Amino acid sequence: MISEKFEDFKIFTGNSNIFLAKSIVGYLGMNLGEILSTRFPDGEIYVRCLESVRGKEVFVIQSTYSPSDNLMELLIMIDALKRASARSICAVIPFFGYARQDRKTKSREPISAKLVANLITVAGATRVISVDLHAGQIQGFFDIPLDNLTAVLLLRSYFKDKELKNPVIVAPDVGAVPRTTEFSKGIRNSTQAIFVKKRLGPDEVETSRLIGEVKDKTVILVDDAIHTGGTMINAAEEVLKRGAIEVYVGATHGVFALDSLEKLEKSAIKEIVVTDTMPVSQRTNLPSKVKVLSVASLIGEAIKRIVFHESVSELFEKSS
Ligand code: R5P
């Protein structure tokens, strides 16, 4: 039983997503470890672990979305746990920020995803768990084990139960195709379509060329993340212009930057389904069309399997 292992492993959380962390330990039937994370008067982060972790297997839950303090808090927590002689430290990063900068597309750009991977490893993490990394190749930026879980099956199961009429699963850009392909496998009689997206700037996209048919179909747009909402709103307008009946959206990470929630509320999208890798439910202005599914059991199960030295791959291996 998991309770027999309580003495061997501990779970801590930073401040980025405390509700998710509580749900994860709730799934496992345990409590969060005690850790103090506060500020010096000048704003610097101060962390102190309030219980012994000597020789323990330790997990730290923290999404690294903006502001960068979330990342900094994670690094400082890992450092504190390392110096307190934890046997191993797994960084559980439900939403891995800075992931979009995973290669140089123009000269003199950074590869921020690699930099963040280096920082996490140098701080002392011995393993990473994440959910739907922006690009699978980010796993290769780490020289420690990384389990890239997926919420696609969770999102798919939600839409499967809706039994939507004549569904077409639409990738808002070419990068989303592996996700939409996996998604469509579980939706009966579904077809697929792909947009060719051109990013004009950090908050401006052009989504006008579509490969595939959407006329008289119910569109489900599937992506890893919604940041400004521009990609999804543009794609929704385009499919409606082409005769789609209605538009649903499924994405793992609801980042919802700037005034995206207001824009999405006003948009023609009928429902937007995201997960709690970001603290979406705690947003004050959350439109009723946004539905949040929880990845707590997915992450909790992965932690349990790691502790018990069982296979984690079943949780993220795609169906054939
Ligand atoms: C980028 O390639 C991602 O997969 C998403 O399409 C992107 O993050 C969405 O950003 P936004 O909501 O700002 O259009």
258 lies in the same domain as 228: yes
CB-CB contact of 152 with 252 (8 Å): yes
Q: What is the pLDDT of residues 281-311, one digit of tens each?
A: 999 989 999 999 999 999 999 999 999 999 9
Q: Is the pLDDT of residue 174 over 70?
A: yes
C-alpha 248/C-alpha 163 separation (Å) is 13
In angstroms, the CA 235 to CA 204 distance is 13
| Full residue range of the structural domain in which residue 203 is found | 152-293
Kindly state whether residues 162 and 146 are assigned to the same domain. Answer: no
- In a shared domain, residues 172 and 232: yes
| Together in a domain, 178 and 62 | no
Residue 319's pLDDT is 52
Q: Do 194 and 280 fall into the same domain? A: yes
Instruction: Assess whether 168 and 234 both reside in one domain.
Output: yes
Q: Do residue 108 and residue 186 come from a single domain?
A: no
**pLDDT of residue 265 exceeding 80:** yes
Distances 98 to 111, 116, 131, 193, 275 between C-alpha atoms, Å:
9, 7, 14, 28, 19
Residues 6 or more apart whose CB falls under 8 angstroms from that of 293 comprise 151, 154, 155, 158, 273, 274, 275, 276
What's the number of domains the chain is made of?
2
| Domain match, 93 and 186 both | no
Q: H or E element: which one contains 293?
A: strand 290-293
Same-domain pairing of 96 and 220 = no
DSSP-derived pairing of the beta strands 88-93 and 127-131: parallel
> Which residue, by CA, sits nearest to atom 2 of ligand 1?
175
Q: Tell whether the model's pLDDT for residue 320 goes beyond 70.
A: no
Q: How confident is the model at residue 2 (pLDDT cuts 50, 70, 90)?
A: low
In this predicted structure, what is the pLDDT of residue 198?
A: 80
Shared-domain flag, residues 100 and 232: no
Pair (6, 146) in one structural domain:
yes
89 CA from centroid of ligand 1 (Å): 31
User: What's the gap in Å between 65 CA and the centre of ligand 1?
Assistant: 14
Same structural domain, 96 and 161: no
231 lines ligand 1 (CB under 6 A): yes
Q: Is 73 in the pocket of ligand 1 (CB under 6 A)?
A: no
- Residue 172's domain is classified under what CATH number? 3.40.50.2020
Atom of ligand 1 nearest to the CA of 203: 13
Task: Specify whether 197 is catalytic.
Answer: yes
- Could you tell me the pTM of the whole model? 0.95
